[in-house]
Amino acid sequence: MITLSNLLNKMLVENGVICIENGHEKAFDKLNRKAVLLNLLITQAEDLYHYVFGESIVDINEESYDLIQLLFIFDQALSLCDENILAVDNVLGGVYESAANK
């Protein structure tokens, strides 16, 4: 089975999205903070689209997901892009700043 990260990477590439981490272009599935970013995408998709899912999706992982979950996670990744660039440091920096301000 293809992993969630690999599928997300393929979908992002097909849509012309470039992931930038530490100033370097990287494939989504090769990001150093891939797990943190993936958890953020899953959590945000859950928050925005919880009414679509029969149960919480926060416990899905690389091998345990369905295609509907994948599509909503992908949609969330696209929403974080600025002109087809997914700036990982900016996205995760905002998360860390939000947590620090609580």
Determine which helix (DSSP H) or strand (DSSP E) holds 86, and give its type and residue range.
strand 85-87
Query: What's the whole-model pTM score?
Result: 0.86
| pLDDT average, residue stretch 78-83 | 96
Structural domain of 10:
4-100
Give residue 54's pLDDT band: very low, low, confident or very high (50, 70, 90).
Answer: confident
Q: Which of 59-63, 84-88, 92-96 has the lowest mean pLDDT?
A: 92-96
- At residue 20, what are phi and psi to the nearest 5 degrees? -120, 125
Report d(CA 79, CA 32) in Å as an integer: 21
Structure tokens of 14? 């097909």
How many residues does the structure list for the chain? 102
Q: How many domains does the chain have?
A: 1
What angle (nearest 5°) sits at the alpha carbon of residue 28, between those of residues 82 and 102?
65
The predicted model gives 62-68 an average pLDDT of 92
- Residue 83 contacts by C-beta under 8 Å, 6 or more apart in sequence? none
Predicted local confidence at residue 53, as pLDDT: 87
